[in-house]
Amino acid sequence: MKSVGIIPARYASTRLPGKPLKDICGKPMIQHVYERAQKAKHLDEIIVATDDQRIIDVVKGFGGKAVLTSVNHPNGSSRAAEVVAKLDFELIINIQGDEPMIEPGMIDELTEVMIVEKNLDSATLCYRISEENFADENVVKVVRDRNDYALYFSRSLIPYPRNIEYQKVYEHIGIYAYRKSFLLRYSELEKTPLSETESLEQLKVLEHGFRMKVPETRFKYEALSIDTLEDLEKARQIMSGE
């Protein structure tokens, strides 16, 4: 099964414009993401999908592959769909372009789930979190059924702890695996109310009646999404060993 890692990288971030090119310890952030993805065992190719020629030039400068896409995509999965539409890959791993410390093993976990469970259209990962993160709207929570399929994703705390002895809260990790046929179909689906309300693209999958597998990662989740200058400084400190 041929697999490709797609790294969507939009230049015009509202809170941190040009963030894929921000320097972290002597390298642009997009290079850190690319090099981490290269350590995954099951990807046959890695492609940066971007809307800006400056990112194309930087990626090619460090020896990576990048494709220029439309500026009108609503999310990373839509951008990935444009890139893979004419490529010969069955499995697409959508890797966030703003997580320079992504664990390569998580990429392999997702790939292996899709290889073993051939009936899956899509999958992502989760990680159990502690109470200090329950109220953070930037920590997206997921509840699952007994077979690890997503029931709902939310920025709010779920489940509500009416009986706290049963409560387990899981964070959704923003990396996705898709069959190519499903990704192309998904990208054409209409917007959905819950997805728009929560600003969570994965809810569109559930609202249209499809299922998404969400196994718990076996790795310690320490990835940091870079959305602000504060995030960028934190990443610099961590990655420099300070």
Q: What is the mean pLDDT of residues 183-194?
A: 96
Residue 38: per-residue pLDDT: 98
Residue 14: per-residue pLDDT: 79
Q: Identify which of 98, 102, 96, 94 has the alpha carbon closest to the alpha carbon of residue 223.
A: 102
Q: Give the mean pLDDT of the chain.
A: 95
The CATH number given to whatever domain includes residue 66 is: 3.90.550.10
- For residue 56, what are the domain limits? 3-240
**pLDDT band (50, 70, 90) for residue 34:** very high
CA distances to 1, 8, 83, 111, 119 from 116, rounded to whole Å, are: 11, 26, 25, 9, 9
Residue 167: per-residue pLDDT: 93
Residue 223: per-residue pLDDT: 67
> Does the pLDDT at position 68 exceed 80?
yes
This prediction's pTM? 0.94
Total domains in the fold of the chain: 1
6-15, 33-42, 85-94, 184-193 — which is least confidently predicted? Answer: 6-15
